[in-house]
Amino acid sequence: MSRRRGEAESTSQDWVATLADEVVAAQKEIDGAESGRTIICASGLSPSGPIHLGNLREVLTPHLVADEIRRRGIPCEHVISWDDFDRYRRVPRGVEGIDDSWAEHIGKPLTAVPAPRGSGHPNWAEHFKAPMIAALEQLGVPYRGISQTQMYTSGAYVPQTLLAMRERSRIDAVLGRFRTKKTSADGEEGPDDEAVGSATGEYFPYKPFCTACGKDDTTIVAYDDDTTEMSFTCACGSSETVRLDGFTRGKLVWKVDWPMRWAYEGVDFEPSGVDHSSPGSSYEVGGLLVSEVFGGRQPIGPMYAFVGISGQAKMSSSKGGVPTPSSALEVFEAPLLRWLYARRRPNQAIKVAFDAELSRLYDEWDALSRKVAGGTAPPIEALGHARSVATAERALPLTPQPVAFRTLTSVVDVTTGDPEQLGRILTGLVSSDPEEPVTLDDLQPRLDRAEHWVEHYMPEESHTRLLPAPDTSLLGSLDDTDRESLRLLLDGLEQDWSLEGLTTLVYGVPKQQAGLPLDTKPTDELKAAQRRFFVLLYRALVGSDTGPRLPTLLLAAGPEAVRRQLTA
């Protein structure tokens, strides 16, 4: 029976609490109210290549549910199964340090494939696990990691493997209800070579790795249930006969392996992606096999939607060059990245922005943070914020003095990241009180994120550089109106050299010229005059009709440079 429960209920706004309620209720129904058994929430990750932001949803969905359960004082553990005993299927594109020679390792377990050149890790799997492990620490995700290489090679799964082999006819019958040739959305075969047979056509739910070549290009030719003696051949020409009750160089195929682990770990909750949710999918088949073969139960498992990147289609590790949690955390503060995943129900798509849209996300986050601090945030939004800034175990680092991300990137860009210039401008943005000086440390970790974004993600055409000298041709061609506007600006520069003061000044000059009070609401005519004045300033300062917000640009340039550029 499929336990895709939670999807209808999770349409309520607080999907985390809804799913936590359901998991707790199911555990009590199965084990009894006083069982005291630790609830298990699970994730599975394959280090076949870069572990991308789509995979992060596989982790953060159960993390948030497990965290909510622990906040209630109920024992709950989040386990992450590293599928590092999966076969190496293809040489991914866009991964540094590898070439076509890695094709010779196709068919080996991921832990038996060399890491890319220059890596400090012992094998392929560890190389790609490491950045994800570091990212999960930054994101405040506690978990128990389970290496499938260790589990299979240690013999931990031998009883389950022998059981699956004894029940192979029943497993084959279940698979036969759904068996068709399936491909994934990008035309590649999925993770389950389910039609694993033998030389005689008998179905076996197990793939041995060849002792001679280390690959799983193997075919079982005989198996004896009583002795567990198994004979197999390999495409490399080798043949072997082993006792499966002591042989640990092989694994169950995916659609059998997954329900086996549900039963082995006692998993209560594990979401899965759209690709595991179609009719005849791993989740549907697993629900039958876990009860009919392994004597366990299918976990509650809502489907989660894909995660997209601004301007990029569905991510695939096999294609390489995909944004990862580690790369995201170079431009996202950890609470903000958590919030992107926490605020959307699992079946809603998420877009993670690395382009200029990132500034808008920071603005949304800052606005929410102000509402929370002021006690005006709606309860559901306050809950999402609380789950993003802290877990049941600890609070995550926050920037003590958060300056708008778009302001930081503009200042970093115009000053080319010069520490002295940054210190002068940014500390002035935050505090004008000499008795309470603010250092650049007070702007971290956001400032580091802004610097990284400017260096690695800001489009080349968006960079802003002051002209090296005044544009005398432009200044000499101005009419009386334009000259007066520059004079009024220069006269007002020293009155309030702050972002707020400069904002009032640049918007106020056209009002002064029209003889209007500074608090006059803009009319269409006034807006046209302001636009004309803004274009003049951009041309005189940066040689373009547009640029970053003028108050930020003036603040970053400094009064001396502004006077130089605007004086003929």
Averaged pLDDT, 80-84:
98
What average pLDDT is seen over the chain? 89
> Pick from 105, 101, 54, 62: which is nearest to 81 by CA?
62
Q: Is the pLDDT of residue 91 over 50?
A: yes
Tokens representing 306 are: 């894909």
**Average pLDDT, integer, range 308-318:** 54
Q: What is the pLDDT of residue 115?
A: 98
Q: With bands split at pLDDT 50, 70 and 90, how would you rate the model's confidence at 559?
A: confident
How many CB atoms are closer than 10 A to CB 304? 25
Question: What does the pLDDT look like over 255-264, one tens digit per residue?
Answer: 999 999 999 9
pLDDT tens readout for residues 495-529: 887 778 889 999 999 999 999 998 889 899 999 99
CA dihedral in degrees (294, 251, 49, 318; nearest 10)? -90
Residue, of 159 and 184, whose pLDDT is higher: 159
Helices 282-292 and 168-176 cross at an angle (nearest 10°) of: 150
Specify the range with the lowest mean pLDDT, choosing from 161-170, 281-290, 387-396.
281-290
Tokens representing 208 are 């041995």
* CB environment 475-508: b (16+ within 10 A), e (fewer): beeeeeebeebbebbeebbeeeeebebbbbbbbb
Sign of the CA dihedral 185, 175, 109, 328? Answer: positive
Provide the 3-class DSSP secondary structure of residue 431: coil
Domains detected in the chain = 9-304 (3.40.50.620), 405-462 (no CATH), 472-566 (1.10.10.350)
Separation CA 258–CA 286 (nearest Å):
7
Alpha carbon distance 115, 85 (integer Å): 15
CB atoms within 10 A of CB 48: 22
| Letter string b/e over residues 16-41, b meaning 16 or more CB atoms within 10 A of that residue's CB | bbbbbbbbbebbeeeeeeeeeeebbb
pLDDT at 470 > cutoff 60: yes
Residue-wise pLDDT tens digits, 160-206: 999 999 999 999 999 988 866 444 444 444 444 454 555 567 999 99
Mean pLDDT of 330-348: 96
1-12: pLDDT as tens digits: 455 554 444 334
pLDDT above 90 coverage of the chain, percent? 69
DSSP 272-333: EEGGGSSTT-HHHHHHHHHHHTSS--PPB--EE--EEETTB-S--GGG-----HHHHTTTS-
Residue 16 makes CB contacts below 8 A (sequence gap 6+) with: 64, 65, 68, 342, 383, 387
Q: What is the token pair recorded at 192?
A: 């389950």
- Answer whether residue 491 shows pLDDT above 50: yes
What pLDDT score was predicted for residue 316? Answer: 42
From the list 257, 349, 255, 256, the residue with the least C-alpha distance to 303 is 349
Cβ atoms of 88 and 105 within 8 Å: the answer is: yes
Confidence of residue 313 (pLDDT cuts 50, 70, 90): very low
pLDDT digits (tens, 9 = 90+) for 21-32: 999 999 988 887
Tokens of 287: 């629900």
Neighbours of 512 (CB within 10 A): 17
Q: Of 446, 411, 454, 413, whose CA–CA distance to 336 is shortest?
A: 446
331 pLDDT more than 90:
yes
DSSP characters over 439-453: -GGGGTTHHHHHHHH
Distance of CA 311 to the CA centre of its chain: 16
Task: Using the predicted structure, report yes or no on whether residue 207 has a pLDDT greater than 50.
Answer: yes
Average pLDDT over residues 403-416: 89
pLDDT band at 547 (very low <50, low <70, confident <90, very high): confident
State residue 431's pLDDT score: 62
Instruction: Report the pLDDT value the prediction gives residue 347, as an integer from 0 to 100.
Output: 92
Across 231-245, 414-428, 545-559, the highest mean pLDDT is recorded for: 231-245
Give the closest residue to 389 by CA, choosing from 168, 67, 120.
67
pLDDT of residue 319: 42
Distances in whole angstroms, Cα of residue 547 to Cα of each of 41, 552, 553: 49, 10, 8
- Of the candidates 94, 96, 60, 50, the one whose C-alpha atom is nearest the C-alpha of residue 80 is 60
